[in-house]
Amino acid sequence: MPASKTKSSASHDPTLLGRNFKKRLRSGEVLVGGTLSEYARPSLVKLYCQAGFDFLFVENEHALFSPTDLVDLLICARDNELPVISKIPQLERAATTKLLDNGCTGIQLPRTESRHDLETLLSYMKFPPLGRRAGAPCFANVDYQWPANHPQWLRKADESTVVVAHIETAEGLRNAEEIVTTPHLDMVYVGPYDFSISMGHPGNYNHPDVLKGMNRILDICRAHSIPFGTTAADLKGAGYWIKRGARFFEAVDELSLIAEGARNVVTDYRRISSGKRIAGGG
CATH architecture entry for 3-273: Alpha-Beta Barrel (3.20)
Return the pLDDT at 277: 59
List pLDDT tens digits, range 190-243. Answer: 999 999 999 999 999 999 999 999 999 999 999 999 999 999 999 999 999 999
Q: Where are the domains of the chain?
A: 3-273
Q: pLDDT confidence of 168, banded at 50, 70, 90?
A: very high
HEC letters along 199-263:
CCCCCCCCCHHHHHHHHHHHHHHHHCCCCEEECCCCHHHHHHHHHHCCCEEEEEEHHHHHHHHHH
Query: C-alpha distances in angstroms, 162 versus 100, 103, 170, 233, 258?
Result: 10, 12, 24, 25, 29
Provide the whole-model pTM.
Answer: 0.90
**Average pLDDT, rounded, for the chain:** 93
What pLDDT score does 4 carry? 40
Mean pLDDT within 262-272? 95
